[in-house]
Structure 1
Amino acid sequence: MSYLFKTRSEATQLKPASPEEQQQKIEDVRQLLGDLPTEMPSFLSDGTIRRFLWTKSWSTEQAAKALKEAVKWRRQFKPEKICWEDLPGIENEARRAYIPDYLDKNGHTVFVVMTSLKSFTSTKERIKQLVYNLENMAMDSEDAQEENVIWMCNFRGWTLSSTPLWETRESLHIIQNYYPGLIRTAILSNPPKIFESFWKMVKHIIEPTLQEKLKFVYSDNSESQRIMADMFDMDKLESAFGGRNTASLDIIKYAERMRRRDQLRGASKKNINDNISSPNQE
């Protein structure tokens, strides 16, 4: 599996537009969307439209088409309403996938996935949790002028049963079609030998632009260690990724932080109840 030791090149950068050109394209897309921005003003923000334009090489027609598909999905899934209390077994599941309280050295949001930790919920509920996290990362990326998320997966101890193929396919579909332009770099840490066969199955469903953002790193590889040290404060980075932080996730503090974020997103139970009791509230 020596090919995995090679870190991939940085994602091919799309030709940047000037701020004025970007804003004009955003307005052009908004015109193509008709009444949809009125229906979903929070989702169809400048930040969201900009992200879809990035991934469509600044084609307004393609971005508008992709956004319309995302709107259809959001009408059914209602991701903006998911809050911490909606996620069964979240105390355990959050340890498998969470947004830590540190950023990388360039100020990008970090998302951590511990694939080998056993899940006690269904695939459907894990997809729901993924969407919940994606909504939070999208909120963090609202004002970003480039991809803003460093996605880190620890594969030490991973087996084929850790990540069912259907779940992987569905997760990639949601990330690539409904939350494009979020991931700046995806770090796959310490994949075992058995991961090679799984990788061959899923590689073809990963879009080329996302494949270019993948970095395979190994704890016992000096080049991998250099990559991680260049990107992160090693005192904050989890030991699973070669950092010096051996503390486990404090689930009580994490729950408090996520509930505060739910309020900012307008997705907390309190906000929802307030809206129900005040139907005429703007």
Structure 2
Amino acid sequence: MSYLLKAKSWVSQEKAAGSLDEQHDKINEVRELLGSLTAEMPSFLSESTIRRFLRAKSWSTEQATKALKETIKWRRQCRPDTICWEDIHEREHEARRAYIADYLDKNGRTVFISKPAIKSKLSSKDQIKHLVYNLEILAMLSENEQDECVAWLTDFQGWVLTCTPFSMVRESMHIIQNHYPGLMAVAILSNPPKIFESFWKIVRHFLEPEMNQKVKFLYTNNPESHKTVADMFDLDNLETTFGGRNKVAFDMDKYNERMKRNDQMRGASKHANA
């Protein structure tokens, strides 16, 4: 999509959102439409969550309410709020495949990094569980944000078709778009191999048009891509695999402690999950 079309899309979103007072009125209207459900899940149905769903649905209170009701049904069954770091099997390995960085981009957005070329040791069900856990943390970190606040970087170095089953992609995209809308600001696909082109032609059909617009293909040996990355990130923080200068190895001990602190902030624990 051209810059002009993106600008028009942004302007239409701004018009739909209205003033802060109008946004607040829409949030209250959704609360009324949800009725007793707000008492069932008060922590989840916060002002921040309702705003995210409204933003994802172009500030339509009816569509946002419908989407929230579907997500409430899903949360009753999956209980994502009770998943904690200690529930993730093979977490020391899986964290290297997908983790929340300890720095922000230049726009103050949380950075989420995935490396699908690293073979998972988990079943499909447990891989989805790990994804949902990360999305819960990202949602918590976005609690006070007015706009999409996650920059998702995917490293495709060494990727082959067998690394990412279509069924897994389809389920992951469904969960992200339907149950955690309004989080992703940009999704950067770094150095995808030639074979990824055919894969992408299928995968893009799983994405909603607005999500498709957020996807950027970047190549570290391309000067234009390097400029894009430098505009978005402090290169001293960004990992070398994405064109940054950070060569520091992933510190599993620090990451363990950070995730445990996040669990405490969320109120998730082994006791709550029992």
TM-score (norm 2): 0.95
Deviation at 1:57, TM superposition (A): 1.1
- Tell me what 2:139 maps to: 138
Instruction: Provide the rounded CA distance (Å) in 2 between the counterparts of 1:116 and 1:104.
Output: 24
Could you report, residue by residue, the CA deviation over 1:208-256 in whole angstroms, capped at 9, with x for unpaired residues? 0000011100011011000000011101101110111112211111000
Quote the Cα distance in structure 2 between the aligned partners of 1:57 and 1:253.
39
Which residue number in structure 1 is paired with residue 32 of structure 2?
31
Structure 1 alignment gaps of length 5 or more: 1-5, 277-282
Pair 1:224 & 2:225 matched: yes
Q: How does 1:79-158 map to 2 (within 5 A)?
A: 79-158=80-159
Distance 1:259 1:90, change over 3 A: same
Q: Please give the alpha-carbon distance, in whole angstroms, between the structure 1 residues aligned to 2:58 and 2:258.
A: 36
**Aligned residue for 1:49?**
50
Equivalent position SS for 2:104: coil
Counterpart in 2 of 1:279? none
| 1:215 and 2:220 correspond | no
Counterpart secondary structure, 2:65 = helix
Aligned length: 268
Quick one: which amino acid aligns to residue 129 of structure 1?
H
Q: Who is 1:201 aligned against?
A: 202
- Whether 1:179 aligns to 2:180 is yes
Superposed CA deviations along residues 52-98 of structure 1, whole A, max 9, x for unmatched, are: 00111111111000000000000000000000010000100000000
Q: How far apart are residue 8 of structure 1 and its match?
A: 11
In structure 1, how many angstroms separate the alpha carbons of the residues matched to 2:4 and 2:145? Answer: 23
Task: Tell me the equivalent position of 2:78.
Answer: 77
Work out the percentage of aligned pairs sharing the same amino acid: 59
AA matched with 2:191: N
Q: 1:261 to 1:9 in 2, by over 3 A?
A: farther
Higher relative CO (Cα under 8 Å, sequence separation at least 6) belongs to 1
Query: TM-score scaled to structure 1, two decimals?
Result: 0.92
- The residue number in structure 1 matching 2:191 is 190
Q: What stretches of structure 1 move > 4 A for 4+ residues in a row?
A: 6-11
Return the alpha-carbon distance in structure 2 between the equivalents of residues 8 and 245 of structure 1.
Answer: 34
Q: 1:8 to 1:150 in 2, by over 3 A?
A: farther
8 Å Cα contact 1:8-1:213 kept in structure 2: no
Report the Cα offset of residue 9 of structure 1: 7.5
Q: Which segment drifts farther, 261-270 or 168-177?
A: 261-270
Does the CA contact (< 8 Å) of 1:9 and 1:212 recur in 2? no
Distance 1:8 1:160 in 2: 35
| Paired AA for residue 239 in structure 1 | T
Q: Which amino acid aligns with 2:131?
A: L
Q: Which runs of 5+ in 2 are unaligned?
A: none
C-alpha distance in structure 2 between counterparts of 1:100 and 1:59, whole Å: 33
Q: CA RMSD in A?
A: 1.7
The 8 Å contact of residues 7 and 217 in structure 1, kept in 2 or not, is answered as: no
